[in-house]
């Protein structure tokens, strides 16, 4: 994998790159030493979140670039669990770098075991994947005429609990808390009914959105009254 | 003519733009054109905040724009200044570079 990153760095204007995997952090990197491993993990984790929004906003974004004064950052989605982050000079030839990334992306994916798992899930027959999302509809709270959706759960069925979670989350990650909560609640609803005894599962998944360990502890502390 | 009006008039003249949304930094929509603007408005605000969020770790200044590419090659172009975020949904025929050249000076002028 390190060799593949070195190949990307041969493109003019590329400072270095790293491969991030959600559950394992930085898998490989050849970024300059000024970007220490902890910083790389934090940055890549934040950048990878953008791809998690695809489902929520009905988009299929698979790469993006951010232009700063000092650098251009390119982020390529390798699979649901992993991203490639490339840091370039601000005036780097994006098309050339993108070509190099595109050519090597499939080789990188083949070296990441988490990508194998998500690809296997994505390629499951439709009939099998439809079982889980329909499960919550069998619960008593979902039998009313109103459809069970994220808005209804957050603003009606579990308004008090969700308000507590949103406030606690906002203290840790700021104004993106509302969107992050909606995103995670949607996934939570896909695995079961919106019941109070499942709030701990939701809290656990939200912990993954908070980078700082002390903030994670504070977040769980704020939720004690509802868990 | 207000600067936002001038910006939106200029955007209207550019071909291959399917949707346009202009929001405040907290995602409040100031101007919109298209069917999915609420979702696009939230998305561009989230993406812009994400790009701001990593600045302290890197010591960079900006960001000035983001270009998101979809599997279909359609793109979302996001331009930002201290006050607003502009999001454009572009089809695959569209090239962001000349659009940025045209709109960046106008976006930079917007204050309120």
pLDDT digit string, tens, across residues A96-115: 999 889 888 888 888 888 77
The pLDDT of residue A118 is 58
CB pairs under 8 A between A and B: 86
Residues A81 and A143 in one domain: no
ipTM of the complex as predicted: 0.91
**Of the candidates B79, B65, B69, B63, which has an alpha carbon nearest to the alpha carbon of residue B23?**
B79
8 Å CB contact of B50 and A50: yes
Could you please report the per-residue DSSP string of B18-74? Answer: EEEEEEETTS-EEEEESSSHHHHHHHHHHHHHHHHHTHHHHT-----EEEEEETTS-
pLDDT digits (tens, 9 = 90+) for B13-42: 999 899 999 998 877 889 998 877 677 888
A69 belongs to a structural domain: yes
Q: For domain B3-109, which CATH number applies: 3.30.450.30, 3.30.160.20, 3.30.230.10, 2.40.110.10?
A: 3.30.450.30
The pLDDT of residue B1 is 52
Count: domains in chain A: 2
Give the residue numbers in A contacting B (CB under 8 Å), as ranges.
35, 39, 42-43, 46-47, 49-50, 53, 57-71, 174-176, 179
- Is B73 at the interface with chain A, CB within 8 A? no
Domains of chain B by residue range: 3-109
pLDDT digits (tens, 9 = 90+) for A178-193: 778 888 888 888 888 8
8 Å CB contact of B54 and A70: no
A77 belongs to a structural domain: yes
Is residue B46 scored above 60 in pLDDT? yes
Residues A14 and A93 in one domain: yes
Residues A65 and A34 in one domain: yes
pLDDT digits (tens, 9 = 90+) for A112-171: 887 776 555 454 444 443 433 433 333 334 444 455 688 888 877 888 889 889 888 877
Position with higher pLDDT, B101 vs A115: B101
Which CATH number covers residue A16?
Answer: 3.30.450.30
Which structure tokens are listed for A170? 């906002």
Residue-number span of the structural domain to which A75 is assigned: 2-120
Residues A102 and A62 in one domain: yes
Residues A8 and A116 in one domain: yes
CB burial of B70-93 (b: ≥16 within 10 Å; e: otherwise) equals: beeebbbbbbbeeebbbbbbbeee
Name the domain boundary from A94, A120, A146: A120
Name the domain boundary from A58, A89, A120: A120
Residues A103 and A155 in one domain: no
Give mean pLDDT, residues B96-111.
91
Q: State the pTM of this model.
A: 0.69
Which structure tokens are listed for B98? 């000349």
A149 belongs to a structural domain: yes
3-state secondary structure of A53: coil
**Residue carrying structure tokens 């291959």:** B16
Residues A84 and A161 in one domain: no
Residues A37 and A115 in one domain: yes
| A192 HSE (CA, 13 A, CB side) | 9
The pLDDT of residue A183 is 83
* CA dist., res. A43 & res. B58, Å (int): 9
Residues A139 and A85 in one domain: no
Which structure tokens are listed for B101? 């050249």
**Contacts with A46 from chain B: Cβ below 8 Å:** 50, 53-54
Contact B23, B9 (CB under 8 A): no
A125 belongs to a structural domain: no
Q: Which of B38, B41, B45, B54 to mutate to test the interface with A (most CBs of A within 10 A)?
A: B54
Name the domain boundary from A99, A120, A141: A120
Residues A48 and A70 in one domain: yes
């Amino acid at each position: 994998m390190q060799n593949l990153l070195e190949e990307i760095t041969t493109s003019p204007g590329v400072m270095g790159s790293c491969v991030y995997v959600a559950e394992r952090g930085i898998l490989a990197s050849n970024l300059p030493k000024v970007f220490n491993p902890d910083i790389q993990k934090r940055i890549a984790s934040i950048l990878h979140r953008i791809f998690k929004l695809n489902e929520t906003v009905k988009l299929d974004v698979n790469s993006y670039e951010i232009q700063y004064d000092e650098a251009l950052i390119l982020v390529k989605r390798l699979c649901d669990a992993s991203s490639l982050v490339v840091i370039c000079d601000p005036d780097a030839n994006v098309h050339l770098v993108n070509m190099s990334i595109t050519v090597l992306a499939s080789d990188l994916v083949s070296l990441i075991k988490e990508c194998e798992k998500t690809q296997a899930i994505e390629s499951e027959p439709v009939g099998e994947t439809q079982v889980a999302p329909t499960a919550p509809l069998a619960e008593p709270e979902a039998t009313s005429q109103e459809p069970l959706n994220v808005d209804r759960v957050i603003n009606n069925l579990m308004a008090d609990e969700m308000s507590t979670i949103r406030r606690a989350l906002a203290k840790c990650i700021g104004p993106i808390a509302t969107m992050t909560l909606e995103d995670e609640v949607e996934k939570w609803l896909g695995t079961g009914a919106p019941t109070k005894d499942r709030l701990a599962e939701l809290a656990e998944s939200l912990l993954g959105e908070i980078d700082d360990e002390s903030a994670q502890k504070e977040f769980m502390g704020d939720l004690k009254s509802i868990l | 003519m207000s600067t936002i009006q001038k910006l939106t008039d200029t955007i209207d003249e550019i071909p291959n733009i399917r949707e346009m949304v202009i929001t405040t930094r907290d995602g409040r929509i100031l101007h919109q054109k298209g069917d999915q603007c609420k979702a696009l408005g939230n998305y561009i605000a989230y993406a812009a905040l994400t790009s701001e969020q990593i600045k302290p770790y890197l010591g960079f200044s900006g960001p000035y724009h983001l270009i998101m590419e979809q599997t279909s090659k359609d793109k979302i172009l996001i331009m930002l200044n201290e006050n607003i975020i502009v999001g454009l949904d572009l089809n695959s025929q569209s090239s962001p570079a000349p659009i940025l050249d045209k709109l960046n000076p106008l976006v930079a002028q917007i204050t309120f």
